[in-house]
Structure 1
Amino acid sequence: MPELSVIVHGPNTQDHLTGLLDSLAAHPHPGTEVVVAAVGDWAQETAERHAPGIQVLPLPDGTSDAAARAAGAARATGRWLHFVHAKDGLPPGGPRTIAERVAELPPTVDVLLIDHVRSTWRTLGLPSADGPLLARAGRTDLVLDDSAYLLRLTPLLGTRVLRAGFWRAHRDRLTTDDEPHAALAALLLADRVACLPHVAHEDRRLRPASLPPVTAEQHYALVDRYESLLDLTRDRPAAYTVLYEIMVRDCLRAFARGGMPEDVAREFFRRASLAALRRRPEGHRRPAGLDGVRRSLLEEGAYTRYRAFQAANRTRRAVRSTVRAGRRQLGTRVRDHQYRRALRRPVDPRLAVFAAYWNRGVACNPAAIAAKLAELAPHIHPVWVVTAENAALLPPGTDHVVPGTRRYGEVLATAKYLVNNVNFPNAVVKRPDAVHLQTHHGTPLKRMGLDQMSFPAAAQGLDFAALLERVDKWDYSLSSNSHTTRMWERAYPSRFVSLDHGYPRNDVYYTAGADDVRAVRERLGIAPGRRAVLYAPTHRDYEAGWTPRLDLAALADRLGEDTVLLVRGHYFYDGTASPPAGPRRSGRIVDVSSYDPVEELCLAADVLVTDYSSIMFDYANLDRPLVIHADDWETYRTTRGVYFDLMTEAPGPVARTQEELTEILTTDAWRDEGAAKARAAFRRRFCEYDDGRAAERVVRRVFLGQDEASLPPVLPLEERTPAPSPEEACPP
């Protein structure tokens, strides 16, 4: 029988389960077993990657936390149980420390209390306020009534390690989705408790904006929680008094934080007032100062006066804020005033605003959606946001606005639909009846969003709090595969709805025909029978500008006259990635850095050579050869961070040097059986939802309001027919 069972339970929310299980695997302890009550497919897949070192108990999506805990406990065989939610963490060596401590406890102890650290999306490992209380208790076992101050410990079930027999005896009382209730009840039901003033748990707080909104009943449940717990302590005056103080404090905090609709706030205050008055211990004295005023108003049920008290505080803060706002530049204030006036106008249900790549023009997923919108919903008028320098490059007849103009503010303020593959500016207001669709512009290999925080080169200059304010405006987030869906949930924690519909920009890879392939190659000057190699490297956060990774002239010479190099520099470099002029004159190198759309370049290419660019995921839809040139993988992985090891999960052969790349491209290695096998596995994983009808699904769901069941289903991969290859479309 193991000394300790660590019961990990819940869904793999924002992929935190991966780090938790990695930590447990890296620091195993022979006296500890790990049981994962995995809720949903993602949690099950993650857990099974760590088997057989752990036991995996698959549970269906929607299984509650309480039910998952109970199921994990039923499977566990340890003498002690440590419940750890899948979103939380365990510091290295934590289970070992707990196992060693419980091994020395007498059988009369029911609960071991441990210390913890707190983490949020922006901070890691903050110390808790529990340390001094645990240190005060020492290492001797205690009766709670003699140490009622322990009720002031943070009410986390993860900081209570329970004797298995105690859990079984009180399972019904402890099996609740109200974790603070369970944590406090465990202390009140225990005969004796012991303390471990050592950090052995990490409480990870998810962004409230990534969680479902709190309902009225959930607000009221806070009062009900303490009323039921106070019933457990009727004949225990010391515990009762402390618990009463905690109840009043938590009710006042919940009310002060706001977020409740007026009717809910009024009812919550009424219930809290009744509980505070009815449950007040005999002879109890209120504290002095402002806190005493708050408690007096609560007990009196003086809702209106309490609101006035809050308003006075808000007024003082508003005055200070107005002074700061008065220092803004006059031009900014004028534009803001015009925008605010426009926000008072009704939302126009026939107006949609589109933008792509920081207002560079008509491109990417927004362009494909706009094209399908014109076909399926022509009554909705599209307006593109484009910078002044790019406006001249727009297709004829494209209605557009330039940032900073009066009409720009008007369309952003009144449009029903706002579509972008990046974010709109911070100042754009999310109106309740407007719809924000975030299309993104690639499948993530590199770390994105909050996952960049640990990588200084990637995080330089980023304001993550402002980023999350923009993310909170999203109603929908578009995805092309389940990997992407899960990483967006992890990197951008908010309440958006994921649309697992595919990337509309990739529809062309299934709808284009031989004529389209021939036409693109003719525009690029690629003669029939010549091999076209598209070389498209990505941007490096650790480099100030374009650094050529290859000697293109030498590569072109080695590949010979029958190969054309199409060189596509990343758009961040604005044309500075142009290849040397000499080889271009021979026709063996073509600079396509300014050629749009990039999807046409993919249709023209026989093979793609890239490093870490997301173009590899899109190009894989064509089922054509891919080659990875990764001369700086270790540096890129260390400075930017990645979500998976491209070196072991590549879509084709990998070259670490130019010589290796040349060898691959001058032999059949770029398209042999091994390359095809790697590409097939890559396509199954990353081309999951792309089938040629992504734009239609998006338009029907977002703009026409159709439900999921009525949308065109995603065609299985084996039933899809990609656009013909250049060899098929352009025989010599």
Structure 2
Amino acid sequence: MSSDHSISLSIIVPVHKVQGYIRQCLDSILDPDISNLEVIAVNDHSPDGCGEILDEFAERDARVRVRHLDENVGLGHARNIGLDMATGDYVWFFDSDDHATEGAVRAICDRLAETRPDVLVFDYARSYWSGKVKRSIINDLFREPPAPDVFTLEERPSVLEMMMTAWNKAIRREFLLDLGLRFSGGYYEDVNVTYPVLMAAERLSLLDRVCYIYRQRRHGAITKTTGAKHFDAFAQYDRIFEFMDGMGAAADPFRQLMFDRTIWHLLVIIEREDRVHESEKARFFTEMARTYNRYEPDGHVPPDPEDKPFLADKHRMIKADDYRGFTRVLSAEEKAKTARRRHRKVGRIGRRGVRISKDLAKDRYYRMQQRLPIDENLAVFAAYWYRGYACNPAAIYEKVRELAPHLNSVWVVKPGARANMPDGVEYVVTGSADYYRTLARAKYFVNNVNFPDFYVKRPEQVHLMTQHGTPLKKMGLDQMEFPVGAGDMDFTALINRSDRWDFLVSSNPLSTEAWQRGFPCGYEMLEIGYPRNDRLITAGGDAAERARLRAELGVPEGSTAILYAPTHRDYQRRYSPMFDIGRVVERLGDDHVLLLRAHYYYKIKNLAADLGWPEDRVIDVSRHRSVEDLMIASDALLTDYSSVMFDYADLDDRPIVIYANDWDTYRLTRGVNFDLTAAPPGVVTTTEDELVDAFVSRAAWGDAAAKDRADFRARFCPWDDGHAAERAVRRVFLGEKIQNPPQ
């Protein structure tokens, strides 16, 4: 759609606690070629970073208007506020955790311009966390029989059977305002608008196209929360029948279908385990009976017992207000379903169980230990698949020893990692009896990756996941769209492991967004900064410590030490330098030294020696235990897409150079959460000549690079103040309420 279209569209987006999804939502509807579009984002006093994200979009796109509310008013009232702000010919109410399909806004605008309806209804698909996308089960209603371009509900009453939500309809704004309909508060706030507009419309139109993706979130969906708010449905349907009474005889053709839809919806609510609490179901049923007997139209034809026996029995029980009879019908229906499913289970037994250990003796020992009491003072620490003492877990471990010395803290390491464990740090080795006993009986677990699948988390145990870097690249379920990066990852197993987390550390707002999308589980988000960066804040400016570290590494006095820390590339089978390291070192001059930190995925003993580089100028620090020490010792960072850049930015006086020669390939194969080349932490280079020049010309130390670095640090290091580990310990181990850094 171009600007010569004569219709305009206002998309109203209430926003609350969806910072992991709002960018995708807005990106999907802000078609750059549609000028007659306004997006009204109503920040419903969201406590997370949504407000800042909305302002960011409004700053760069004049079509976005933002209203920040001083208090949370709820979805319905937020929609009303957006409606009052709207100026378009049509309004589309859009939920902020969902998104439009490619080209959907254009297709909707074209259809509106062609047909000029009061209401346009289009199709949707459900998107599940597993990656499955399924079109609505009633999509045949768009085609059978073929609909004219414009019709009334009386001519096509089956439209009432379509999803009665606000987000699958574009409504003529003046028509809606003239009806005086407003979204109400509480649950199911849209049905008392969406049903009446169809009944009152003189011109309806359909668009047989999936325009909207309805996200089925694992956690956080309001209507999937058990509670008394589901009783709001009765008042919403009372409003619909009151509207029909106001229509008089004009509503008669719709009464039976509207009544059946009402009872269908109430049955969905009472039968779902995640809606009405078991103790409240009898009372909910009584309200259903009241609704049934109050609104059943004259001549109502109940469901056919021959065609739908269980549904017919349910109607009879509701009409008679017989809750016991209703529960008997439900029980009989479930037995029938179980019988139909029974044959499908043949051969499946055992495939979903807990992984059986190859060593049955160890497995039995582990299970025996699980039956013994939890050791309330035992804490387990691990990092990088048991590679040793490192990263956020190490920083938290040290703070535990300071603030909670009553705890017995034990690390889990592989046999080959024992030699590198610091003196005085207790550890157990994988596969040993102590290892299984520790996993079975410890109270606390801290790791920057997941523990093995066989580990069964007991209800009393507490798991703190720290992760091990700010996610420039896509992580978790976000990787589903990038099969090269995901490889053969089992996403169901990943989510099952992530369900064990009680706490998840976030280093910055970007991480919070990415973790909420990538790992939609029931943990508490700790927005505290990165514990491993505490050392950069407290020791980064210590000249004596820096000199000591440089001497240990063999950095010649007076040399410029460049820490080179490239990331892993999923499209490469083995480590292959992206530039000629030996030649670059020679071009940098004798006063430059490269501290080479290869990604831990690559098992290479000594890169400099193996590849023939000058070992006095290329110091291989790939096996050095602490990357934080390497950062402190260095004068500058050279990287590509490694998360080390986010940590290094805490050293605000030291430059960062990005070598992004394969950015497009990396972005397409792995997926990224923001455009690094548009918001870099310093100089971005794409050729070997540019890389060398960034250091030789001192551009990396220049004013422009310093400004980019300051902007980057403000965006991605806002919570790193040297106290992240302390906040983690006080919240997780000591059970204190903590004061997080300013948001």
Residues 197-253 of structure 1, C-alpha deviations (whole Å, 9 max, x = no match): 332631321413244661321344456655664565578565343344434444554
| Structure 1 residues 244 and 482: alpha-carbon distance in aligned structure 2, compared to 1, 3 A threshold | same
Residues 226-284 of structure 1, C-alpha deviations (whole Å, 9 max, x = no match): 56645655785653433444344445545555346973474477447636864666664
Q: CA–CA distance in 1 between the matches of 2:308 and 2:415?
A: 56
8 Å CA contact 2:357, 2:363 repeated in 1: no
Q: Which residue of 2 aligns with 1:724?
A: none
| Structure 1 residues 210 and 331: alpha-carbon distance in aligned structure 2, compared to 1, 3 A threshold | farther
Matched, 1:376 2:387: no
8 Å CA contact 1:537, 1:612 repeated in 2: yes
Q: Which residue of 1 aligns with 2:548?
A: 519
User: Residue 201 of structure 1: SS of its match in structure 2?
Assistant: strand
Please point out which of 633, 638, 663 is paired with 2:668.
Answer: 638
Q: Which residue of 2 aligns with 1:390?
A: 417
Please point out which of 116, 121, 138 is paired with 1:113.
Answer: 121
User: Residue 580 of structure 1: SS of its match in structure 2?
Assistant: helix
- 1:498-647 matches, within 5 Å, as 498-512=525-539, 513-575=542-604, 578-581=607-610, 587-623=616-652, 624-647=654-677
Counterpart of 1:637, as a letter, is R
Residues 610-646 of structure 1, C-alpha deviations (whole Å, 9 max, x = no match): 1111111111111211111222222112211222222
Q: CA–CA distance in 1 between the matches of 2:147 and 2:87?
A: 29
* Equivalent residues, number: 711
Please point out which of 701, 717, 729 is paired with 1:671.
Answer: 701
Q: Which residue of 2 aligns with 1:729?
A: none
Please point out which of 43, 47, 70 is paired with 2:57.
Answer: 47
Q: Which residue of 2 aligns with 1:292?
A: 309
Q: CA–CA distance in 1 between the matches of 2:162 and 2:275?
A: 27
Q: What TM-score does the superposition give when structure 2 sets the normalisation length?
A: 0.86
Residues 554-608 of structure 1, C-alpha deviations (whole Å, 9 max, x = no match): 2232233332221111001123672235866652221111011111111111111
CA shift, 1:112, in A, is 2.6
| Structure 1 residues 517 and 487: alpha-carbon distance in aligned structure 2, compared to 1, 3 A threshold | same
Q: Which residue of 2 aligns with 1:728?
A: none
8 Å CA contact 1:118, 1:126 repeated in 2: yes
Please point out which of 21, 26, 41 is paired with 2:26.
Answer: 21
Matched, 1:157 2:166: yes
CA shift, 1:104, in A, is 5.6
8 Å CA contact 1:3, 1:102 repeated in 2: no
| Structure 1 residues 474 and 246: alpha-carbon distance in aligned structure 2, compared to 1, 3 A threshold | farther
Q: CA–CA distance in 1 between the matches of 2:189 and 2:439?
A: 43
Q: CA–CA distance in 2 between the matches of 1:402 and 1:541?
A: 30
Counterpart of 1:83, as a letter, is F
Q: Which residue of 1 aligns with 2:47?
A: none
8 Å CA contact 2:153, 2:199 repeated in 1: no
- 1:114-513 matches, within 5 Å, as 114-123=122-131, 126-135=134-143, 136=145, 138-139=147-148, 141-145=150-154, 147-171=156-180, 173-177=182-186, 178-182=188-192, 184-187=194-197, 190-199=200-209, 201-211=211-221, 214-222=225-233, 225-226=236-237, 229=240, 239-254=254-269, 257-259=272-274, 263-264=278-279, 266-267=281-282, 270-271=285-286, 274=289, 278=293, 284-288=301-305, 292-293=309-310, 296=313, 299=318, 300-302=322-324, 305=328, 306-307=330-331, 310=334, 316=342, 321-322=348-349, 324=351, 331=358, 339-340=366-367, 342-512=369-539, 513=542
Gaps of 5+ in 1: 717-732
| Structure 1 residues 86 and 468: alpha-carbon distance in aligned structure 2, compared to 1, 3 A threshold | same
Residues 334-359 of structure 1, C-alpha deviations (whole Å, 9 max, x = no match): 76665555445444432222221112
Q: CA–CA distance in 1 between the matches of 2:682 and 2:714?
A: 14
User: Residue 549 of structure 2: SS of its match in structure 1?
Assistant: helix
8 Å CA contact 1:138, 1:197 repeated in 2: no
Counterpart of 2:427, as a letter, is H
8 Å CA contact 2:165, 2:190 repeated in 1: yes
| Structure 1 residues 494 and 289: alpha-carbon distance in aligned structure 2, compared to 1, 3 A threshold | farther
User: Residue 55 of structure 1: SS of its match in structure 2?
Assistant: strand
Q: Which residue of 2 aligns with 1:56?
A: 66
8 Å CA contact 1:16, 1:88 repeated in 2: yes
| Structure 1 residues 223 and 340: alpha-carbon distance in aligned structure 2, compared to 1, 3 A threshold | farther
Which one is further off, 253-262 or 409-418? 253-262
8 Å CA contact 1:421, 1:438 repeated in 2: yes
Which one is further off, 258-267 or 215-224? 258-267
Counterpart of 1:144, as a letter, is L
Matched, 1:653 2:683: yes
Runs of 4+ deviating beyond 6 Å: 317-320, 325-328, 582-585
Counterpart of 2:471, as a letter, is P
Gaps of 5+ in 2: 1-5, 45-49
Q: CA–CA distance in 2 between the matches of 1:644 and 1:324?
A: 39
Residues 42-85 of structure 1, C-alpha deviations (whole Å, 9 max, x = no match): 34234314421333333457442222211211111223222122
| Structure 1 residues 338 and 14: alpha-carbon distance in aligned structure 2, compared to 1, 3 A threshold | farther
Counterpart of 1:590, as a letter, is I
| Structure 1 residues 184 and 586: alpha-carbon distance in aligned structure 2, compared to 1, 3 A threshold | closer
User: Residue 384 of structure 1: SS of its match in structure 2?
Assistant: strand
Q: CA–CA distance in 2 between the matches of 1:411 and 1:27?
A: 56
| Structure 1 residues 137 and 380: alpha-carbon distance in aligned structure 2, compared to 1, 3 A threshold | farther
| Structure 1 residues 525 and 651: alpha-carbon distance in aligned structure 2, compared to 1, 3 A threshold | same
8 Å CA contact 1:113, 1:161 repeated in 2: yes
Q: What TM-score does the superposition give when structure 1 sets the normalisation length?
A: 0.87
Percentage of matched positions with identical amino acids: 37
CA shift, 1:15, in A, is 4.2
Q: CA–CA distance in 2 between the matches of 1:697 and 1:330?
A: 37
Matched, 1:703 2:733: yes
CA shift, 1:290, in A, is 9.7
| Structure 1 residues 256 and 702: alpha-carbon distance in aligned structure 2, compared to 1, 3 A threshold | same
User: Residue 571 of structure 1: SS of its match in structure 2?
Assistant: coil
Counterpart of 2:63, as a letter, is G
User: Residue 624 of structure 2: SS of its match in structure 1?
Assistant: coil
CA shift, 1:375, in A, is 0.4
Please point out which of 58, 73, 85 is paired with 1:75.
Answer: 85
8 Å CA contact 2:12, 2:40 repeated in 1: yes
Q: CA–CA distance in 1 between the matches of 2:236 and 2:361?
A: 51
User: Residue 374 of structure 1: SS of its match in structure 2?
Assistant: helix
Counterpart of 1:650, as a letter, is P
CA shift, 1:492, in A, is 2.3
Q: CA–CA distance in 1 between the matches of 2:271 and 2:434?
A: 40
Counterpart of 1:293, as a letter, is F
Counterpart of 1:536, as a letter, is A
| Structure 1 residues 677 and 352: alpha-carbon distance in aligned structure 2, compared to 1, 3 A threshold | same
CA shift, 1:436, in A, is 2.1
User: Residue 699 of structure 2: SS of its match in structure 1?
Assistant: helix
Residues 264-311 of structure 1, C-alpha deviations (whole Å, 9 max, x = no match): 474477447636864666664444479523652664423664447637
Q: CA–CA distance in 1 between the matches of 2:447 and 2:40?
A: 43
Q: CA–CA distance in 1 between the matches of 2:337 and 2:389?
A: 48
Counterpart of 2:33, as a letter, is P
Q: Which residue of 2 aligns with 1:9?
A: 14
User: Residue 637 of structure 1: SS of its match in structure 2?
Assistant: helix
Which one is further off, 94-103 or 503-512? 94-103
Q: CA–CA distance in 1 between the matches of 2:396 and 2:182?
A: 52
8 Å CA contact 2:119, 2:198 repeated in 1: no
8 Å CA contact 1:117, 1:199 repeated in 2: no
8 Å CA contact 1:12, 1:43 repeated in 2: no
Counterpart of 2:609, as a letter, is P
